[in-house]
Structure 1
Amino acid sequence: MVQEPWLSWLLLTGRVAIAIVFLVSGVHKGIWFSKAVREFQDAKVPFLYFFLIGTIVLHLVAPVLIITGYFVLESAIALAMFTVIATIKVHHFWDMTGDDVLLHSRIALANLAVLGGLLLLAAVGPGQLVL
């Protein structure tokens, strides 16, 4: 088992790494809002603007909280729930054919890895390095 101070440094590095994925997504959705609207339309998301703005807020706020070490459990669980819902709603490779099956199954598996990281983070917390 990794001991302090390495444990907290590894947790901080992991927090930053997993948070950046969502932070960049939130920034991109904000900058290219019309493209995000089309993506949500293609996914047939109900109450599109409500959920799109909620997604952007979640993707901007939760990663900052994770990086700084505050509300890590709540933020990681919220992002984990989002990841499960988005994966099922958008990357439902089991309903697809052709090249889409391979592409979306790979994305779903990558999302599974992110989900695992978020759940581990929720389980162990931020460590001793809180910014």
Structure 2
Amino acid sequence: MRIVLTLPYWASGLAKLTDFSGAQAEMSMFGLQPAAPIAIAVIVTQLVGAALVIHGRHAWLGAGALAIFTILTIFLVHSFWTMSGPDAVKAMHVAVEHIGMCGGLALASIQAHWARRG
């Protein structure tokens, strides 16, 4: 279950890792500078956070890092309140999905804790 839940993070991290110039271009597209260090931070957050959640040991730390990252993307990339029309609707849907993902990460962290105690 935790592998599937974290798929968006580790798949994105691996894609950025294998195409670092594309990752830098993505950071630049969203106005995030300097692009290279930010891309590295994103890759590390996505891969290490997902690995911690999947492994279960320190899942709370990985889930927390991914949740903070996910909430930040709402403000930096999917700020629907600054848009209008169809773009605002699309961004709002993505933002709501991101909030739901944070809930899933919290539940995965709780489940990992219970599984380790059991």
User: Could you state the TM-score of these two structures normalised by the residue count of structure 1?
Assistant: 0.79
- Would you say the 8 A contact 1:30–1:56 is kept in 2? yes
The question of whether the paired residues in 2 share the 8 Å contact of 1:26 and 1:59 is answered with yes
**2:84 aligned counterpart, secondary structure:** coil
Post-superposition shift, 1:46? 2.8
Residue number among 26, 32, 43 corresponding to 1:45 in the alignment: 32
Instruction: Name the one with the larger helix percent.
Output: 2
Count of residue correspondences: 116
Runs of at least 4 residues of structure 1 off by over 4 A? none
1:72 counterpart residue number: 59
Give, in whole Å, the separation in 2 of the partners of 1:104 and 1:32. Answer: 25
Query: Percent same amino acid at aligned positions?
Result: 29
Higher relative contact order (Cα pairs below 8 Å, separated by 6+ residues): 1
| SS at 1:128 equivalent | helix
Structure 2 unmatched ranges of 5 or more = none
Spell out the pairing of 1:1-131 with structure 2 (5 A cutoff).
13=1, 15-122=2-109, 124-126=110-112, 127-128=114-115
Task: Provide structure 1 residue ranges, at least 5 long, that are not aligned to the other structure.
Answer: 1-12
* In structure 2, distance between residues paired with 1:28 and 1:98: 31
Kindly indicate whether the alpha-carbon contact (under 8 Å) linking 2:52 and 2:58 is maintained by their aligned counterparts in 1: yes
- After TM superposition, give the deviation of residue 125 of structure 1 in Å: 4.5
Cα RMSD for the two superposed structures: 1.8
1:83 and 1:30 mapped to 2: Cα distance?
19
Counterpart residue number, 1:6? none
Separation in 2 of the partners of 1:50 and 1:125?
Answer: 33
